[in-house]
Amino acid sequence: MNKYINLGIVLLFTVQCSHIPQNTMSDRKPNTVSTSTTNINLDWLTELPGDSKEYIEQIRKIVIRNNKTNKLSDSNIKNASERIAKYVSFVMYNYPDSVSKKRVSDDLISRLMQSSVQFILCSDLNDFSCLEKTPILQPTSDFRIEDPKLKLGEVVQIKDSFEKSSEYYFNEQIFATEDQYDPSNGVAKVLENKIKKIGTHSDKDALYMAIYGMDDIQKTENNPGSLSGIYSAIIDRITAGTTVYGVFDQSGPHELATKPLIFSYVKPPAVDLKKWILSPLNNSDTQSKIPANDLTNMDFQYKSGTQGLVLKLSEKIKSDEKARGRIEWPDTDLMHNKFFIFKENKKMSVWTGTANISRTCLGTERNSNLSVVIHNDEVAKSYLTEFNEMYEYKDAKLVKPDLGKVFIGLNKQKYFPRGKFHKAKLPNTKRYFNFLVDQTELRLYFSPTDDAEHRALLPMLLSARPGDQILISMFGGAGIEYARSLQWAASRGVDIQVIVDSPTACGTGSWAGRNGDSSLIEDNPYQKISTQYIPLQIHKNDKNKGETWKQNHQKIGLLIRKKSDGTMSPEYFTFGSQNWSQNGNDKNDENLIILRKKDGPIKMASAFEDHFKNFLWPKSQNIPQTGCTEILLDIPADGK
């Protein structure tokens, strides 16, 4: 114990918020995984298998090279390098392919250095004060470098109850056929009604939305117009004078559009109207099943509703700066958020979760999803800060001209007006909140800046102990760190059940795919050193049941902790727009929430446990160790 106290005193004067334990890492290869459930205060890293000597020199050189920024002492460089090398050796332990091992480990080390390795430097994965510190080893990615003066990881104390401040809605009609769907009892109706309640006072009331897109807004013979209520509610608020702003994802210029196109929110004169990005597709040969009036020169993931909102929010403007609806740029990655910020009489709340504002995700509930409302100003402020960063234009002086063969500016404009998306953003939001009344901790992350994978998700999985249970429902899961964390937990006696989407999770590198650097159906590399190994179970949505369960679109994880008295209690619960994949964490604009409550379960988490065990799992289908058999056709971009 004294060595940790001494370390704290030394680092207080030498390195800000280091939390690097002074003990030297043991490189032992255990014969068996420890069966103890009581030594939970030990440094988690010492329990991992793997020989750090294989990677220590490679990592030490990288840490030294980056130390001009970090300014660590020699002893701290040594210790940090040893800990990272130990973690890498754990991930690469017993790697089955000797030919690709060097490439995979090099990629892993490179990605770690671009990320927050703070969790590796913390001895206790349940110590949020350590996990949320400004990283001691500053990431090499500029978009992840945070200003320590902002104190983004310091806890925000909220004098309220999370349970009383939140609502949650699971898609419950996924096993009913579409003609049996009851829209009056649907989640879409809940969102519609909340939008309708917003007032029109210019200072007190407002609606902000960051959504992947919207479709199915018109009722026709073949379409139910399942989102027409939400769309109409938004249009009504705009017309009534409510302050409404939005940012939307887009897919670039339509492949059939005649180029160049005018990139502007201002409607151009008639002579140039066909060139406008928001005009109907200027090529009549659409070769598409989508109605021509739903297509514009700029393409979107979801048609008609997205274009309609952008047009309405840009109506009658004279300059791009006046546009209240803006599209993400560039289109190489996704603005994959699905959140609304409601401001009613100056009080703010947030609608978020896993559901796109699309027909199958929300409109007819064909996909499994979760929608959550949080009524709290402090949490909403972080969402609003993120929204404003995406919405507000960059300084034109800092933007290179974009004029070219595909796009042209309006009135000889030399750059496209755009906000900060993807890697153009910086960490700038508070991410750690504590609801004092019921002692619920909420941590909030926006990708790609905040690195939820390494700050929260991996620590949650790696903290699992023998007797615990992990339930995961995931649309797109991939990545060797996730796979090894789950396999390590299974080897320690953690009962794990995973439902993935079919066929999304069958692709190369995905959890149920046979090709890639890792998957959950391959042999567990830690199984042979375990005395209490529990086989990991992985299922997929069963499309043989009348195609009613179209997609397993959730991005949800639950850790159920086994208490000392033998009872089980949901302790960690996480959800959001972010798939557990490298693109979701490192490229797309996403949001993710992770909740923890040590004393007593979170109601939302308990509800998911029941939803998973009694609703989704019995209706899902086992994936054999041979892997998926589906042919990968028309995988949606959401799967990135």
Amino acid 634: pLDDT = 40
Q: Residue 260, preceding bond cis, omega within 30 degrees?
A: yes
Round the CA-based radius of gyration of the chain to a whole number and report it. 25
496 pLDDT higher than 60: yes
Q: Please work out, in degrees rounded to the nearest 5, the angle formed at the alpha carbon of residue 215 by the alpha carbons of 214 and 220.
A: 155
176 vs 60, higher pLDDT: 60
Summarize pLDDT for 423-452 with one digit per residue, the tens.
999 999 999 999 999 999 999 999 999 999
- DSSP string computed for 191-220: HHHHHHT----TTT-EEEEEES-B---S--
Summarize pLDDT for 186-234 with one digit per residue, the tens.
999 999 999 999 999 989 999 999 999 999 999 877 777 999 999 999 9
> Are 519 and 506 spatial neighbours (Cβ–Cβ below 8 Å)?
no
Amino acid 487: pLDDT = 97
7 pLDDT higher than 60: no
Summarize pLDDT for 127-168 with one digit per residue, the tens.
999 999 999 899 999 999 999 999 999 999 999 999 999 999
**Residue 523, Cβ density class (10 Å: 0-12 exposed, 13-18 middle, ≥19 buried):** exposed
Considering the chain, what percentage of its residues have pLDDT values greater than 90? 73
Q: Please tell me whether the overall predicted TM-score, pTM, comes out greater than 0.85 for this model.
A: yes
C-alpha distance across the termini of the chain, in Å: 45
Amino acid 545: pLDDT = 56
Amino acid 405: pLDDT = 84
30 pLDDT higher than 60: no
Amino acid 299: pLDDT = 94
Amino acid 14: pLDDT = 33
Mean pLDDT score, 583-600: 95
70 vs 20: CA distance, rounded Å: 13
Tokens 């401001």 found at: 343
Mean pLDDT score, 475-483: 94
Amino acid 547: pLDDT = 59
Summarize pLDDT for 351-390 with one digit per residue, the tens.
999 999 999 999 999 999 999 999 999 999 999 999 999 9
Q: Name which of 187-196, 401-410, 601-610 the model is least confident about.
A: 401-410
635 vs 325, higher pLDDT: 325
499 vs 506: CA distance, rounded Å: 12
pLDDT category of residue 285 using cuts at 50, 70 and 90: low
pLDDT category of residue 289 using cuts at 50, 70 and 90: low
DSSP letter (8 states) at residue 624: P
555 vs 287, higher pLDDT: 555
Mean pLDDT score, 409-423: 84
Mean pLDDT score, 570-596: 97
Amino acid 640: pLDDT = 41
Mean pLDDT score, 89-99: 94
- DSSP string computed for 38-58: S-TTS-GGGGS---GGGTHHH
11 pLDDT higher than 70: no
21 pLDDT higher than 50: no
Amino acid 636: pLDDT = 43
Amino acid 152: pLDDT = 97
269 pLDDT higher than 50: yes
pLDDT category of residue 620 using cuts at 50, 70 and 90: very high
Considering the chain, what percentage of its residues have pLDDT values greater than 70? 89
Mean residue pLDDT across the chain:
88
**Helix spans in 73-165 (H):** 74-91, 101-114, 118-121, 128-131
At 499 the three-state DSSP class reads strand
> Are 245 and 325 spatial neighbours (Cβ–Cβ below 8 Å)?
yes
Q: Please work out, in degrees rounded to the nearest 5, the angle formed at the alpha carbon of residue 353 by the alpha carbons of 346 and 362.
A: 105
Q: What is the dihedral of CA 19, 23, 24, 29, to 10 degrees?
A: -100
Amino acid 68: pLDDT = 74
